[in-house]
Each structure stands twice: as structure tokens, then as C-alpha cells.
């Protein structure tokens, strides 16, 4: 199956909600346009940053469909479709694929903590059924289990598994994947602060949280690493470092939604069980974003 290899800076999009709680389609469309105008290379709606855990299946599909429609082919769209139930993951993949996404992203099943052989069987079943290319997502801090490098490399042999988002925070693991992966298999950082070291080891870019609020700066950092300008990438990393830290001062996406709210781009509402950003963190978030923007 032919596909466009994912590389560069992708944004793990937040899902804007109205003050009354419904998905804010207008704000989402505006956010998609702004991200693309600012130089983001691809978009990832309905991941953990998109609060998928509290979206209904209908809302989940609609958020992805809106993103695809508004992107209008300008950048790839990687729709989140993961589940800890393999049958549901396949069913959701078929629904999300129908929106016209270029790729599907599948997180390692959370809570079940499958064995490595279980992960191989799960992702193989999903990839066999999925009508578009699959990107793995390894985030042990949320799922409770790690996709070992050897497991990722075994799955990379599947013709419909075309990349991985690595958020285990391990340079050793990233190096092993980078060294052993087949041509065309994308390796993307899932941690903003690890983008520079991961790309130095061979990763192709990042799926970023902080770029929701500072898309141009994060795209510039990734672009500098892509063309081997380590000095500029390092300088940008230092400028963005406070925001990369502060964006996780409370559970993602609470701080980044608060930042976007301060910028007037969305209402900062999150859905329970997440609560709004504590008042004590508001100025910290605002200052970190200002510094990242260089203002």
C-alpha cells in the first residue's frame, strides 16, 4: 500500500468544546487553518490530547471528519482510533477511515497491559483490517505497558504498519528502532522535550502537544533538526524548554487548552474527570508561552 511517509512536526490537536460542553466545530476549523498556516506538517486529531476518552463514538468520528474536511488535503491527517478491545479498535478504524484520513494512529491497549506477543497479535489484527496505514503509539505513562523495540521492529515488517509515535522517553529504545527499522517506516517522538535528542538518533519528527499553542516555533525546531542545523535547534529548544515543561504541570491537555483560551482561540473547557487549570498556574502558563514565542 502506497503512503506518504510522516515526517516533520505534527500537532496532537486538542478538541475545543463550547462553554456548554459540546464540540466547538467553528473553533476546531479555525485551529486547523491556523496550524497549517503556521507550518505544521500534519495533524493528529482524536488522540489523548484530543480527550478521546470522553468523546462519544459519534463525536470522535465527527472531530476527525471536521479536521479532514478543513485540512482539505493540505497536510496528512492521522486519526486516533485506538482501543483496549481489539474488536472495537477494528470497528473504530473502519469508521475513522471513512472520514478520509491518510493514516490511523493506534495506541497500545491501555489498562489490559498485554504481553509483547499480545501486542503483536493486536496490532496485526488491526493492520490487517484497516483500510489505510497504521501508526503505532507507545506511551507507557498512560497505558501501563511498553511496546518493546523488538516488538515495534517485528510489527514494522507488516506492510500496513508505517510508523510509530514513541513516548517512552528512552533514547536507547529509539536508537534500537532507528537502527533496525525498514525503509519508509516513520519514527516520531511523542515527547516534545525529547524531540532534539530523538531526531539526533534518527527520528523523523514529533507529534507535539506544545505546538497547539506555538505551531510555528515548534515547526522551526523540527525543521532545523531535519536539515542538520543543531545549533539553531538547540537554541530553539532552550527557548521552548519552559513551555515544554509547563504544558504538563497538570494533566494534558489542561495547560495547553488554558493557553489557547488565553490566546482567544478556544474556550479552555475540558471534560470531567479533568478539571480546569488551577488558578495558581495561569500566570506560569502565560509566561511560558510568551517566552516560547519570543515575546
pLDDT tens digit string along 143-187?
Answer: 999 999 999 999 999 999 999 999 999 999 999 999 999 999 999
Please check whether residue 166 is in contact with residue 138, taking contact to mean a CB–CB distance below 8 angstroms. Answer: yes
How far is CA 95 from each of CA 129, 165, 246, rounded to the nearest angstrom? 12, 22, 35
Catalytic residues: 137, 165
Tens of pLDDT, residues 184-210: 999 999 999 999 999 999 999 999 999
Which segments of 54-199 are extended strands (E)?
78-80, 103-107, 134-138, 161-166, 186-189
Average pLDDT, rounded, for the chain: 97
Dihedral Cα 65, 69, 70, 74, nearest 10 deg:
120
Pairing of strands 134-138, 161-166: parallel
pLDDT, position 25: 98
Domain boundaries, the chain: 8-228
Query: Measured between alpha carbons, how far is residue 12 from residues 54, 169, 189, 225, 231 in Å?
Result: 16, 17, 12, 20, 26
**Fold entry, domain 8-228:** TIM Barrel (3.20.20)
Residue 45 in contact with residue 67, Cβ under 8 Å?
A: yes
Record the cell numbers describing residue 235, joined without a space.
537554541
- The confidence score (pLDDT) of residue 237 equals 98
CA 89/CA 128 separation, integer angstroms? 12
How many CA atoms lie within 13 Å of 45's alpha carbon, on the beta-carbon side?
A: 32
Whether pLDDT at 2 is above 60: no
Tell me the angle at which helices 116-129 and 149-156 cross, rounded to the nearest 10 degrees: 30
Grouping H, G, I as helix, E, B as strand and the rest as coil, residue 38 is: coil
- Its pTM stands at 0.97
100-147, pLDDT tens digit by residue? 999 999 999 999 999 999 999 999 999 999 999 999 999 999 999 999
Nearest to 19 by CA among 266, 185, 215: 266
Q: What is the pLDDT of residue 4?
A: 77
pLDDT in tens, 16-64: 999 999 999 999 999 999 999 999 999 999 999 999 999 999 999 999 9
Assess contact for 102 and 76: CB atoms under 8 A: yes
Element holding 211 (H helix, E strand): none
CA-based end-to-end distance of the chain: 45
CA dihedral 80, 14, 222, 201 (to 10 degrees): -50
Are 81 and 92 a contacting pair, CB within 8 Å? yes
What pLDDT, on the 0 to 100 scale, is given for residue 1?
A: 43
Amino acid at each position: 500500500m502506497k503512503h506518504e511517509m510522516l515526517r516533520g512536526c505534527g500537532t496532537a490537536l486538542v478538541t475545543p468544546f463550547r462553554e456548554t460542553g459540546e464540540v466547538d466545530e467553528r473553533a476546531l476549523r479555525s485551529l486547523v487553518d491556523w496550524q497549517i498556516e503556521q507550518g505544521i506538517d500534519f495533524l493528529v486529531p482524536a488522540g489523548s490530547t484530543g480527550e478521546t476518552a470522553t468523546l462519544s463514538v459519534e463525536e470522535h468520528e465527527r472531530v476527525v471528519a471536521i479536521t479532514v474536511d478543513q485540512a482539505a488535503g493540505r497536510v496528512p491527517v492521522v486519526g486516533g482510533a485506538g482501543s483496549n478491545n481489539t474488536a472495537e479498535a477494528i470497528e473504530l478504524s473502519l469508521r475513522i477511515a471513512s472520514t478520509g484520513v491518510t493514516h490511523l494512529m493506534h495506541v497500545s491497549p491501555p489498562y489490559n497491559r498485554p504481553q509483547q506477543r499480545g501486542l503483536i497479535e493486536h496490532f496485526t489484527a488491526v493492520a490487517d483490517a484497516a483500510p489505510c496505514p497504521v501508526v503505532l503509539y507507545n506511551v507507557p505513562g498512560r497505558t501501563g505497558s511498553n511496546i518493546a523495540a523488538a516488538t515495534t521492529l517485528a510489527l514494522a515488517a507488516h506492510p500496513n504498519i508505517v510508523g510509530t509515535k514513541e513516548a517512552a522517553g528512552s533514547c536507547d529504545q529509539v536508537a534500537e528502532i532507528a537502527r533496525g527499522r525498514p525503509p519508509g517506516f516513520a519514527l516520531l517522538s511523542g515527547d516534545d522535550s525529547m524531540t532534539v535528542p530523538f531526531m539526533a538518533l534518527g527520528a523523523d519528527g514529533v507529534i507535539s502537544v506544545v505546538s497547539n499553542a506555538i505551531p510555528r516555533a515548534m515547526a522551526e525546531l523540527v525543521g532545523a533538526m531535519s536539515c542538520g542545523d543543531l545549533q539553531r535547534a538547540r537554541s530553539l529548544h532552550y527557548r521552548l524548554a519552559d513551555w515544554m515543561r509547563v504544558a504538563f504541570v497538570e494533566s494534558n491537555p489542561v495547560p495547553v487548552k488554558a493557553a489557547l483560551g488565553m490566546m482567544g482561540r478556544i474556550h479552555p473547557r475540558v471534560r470531567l474527570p479533568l478539571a480546569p487549570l488551577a488558578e495558581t498556574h495561569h500566570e506560569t502558563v502565560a509566561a511560558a508561552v510568551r517566552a516560547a514565542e519570543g515575546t
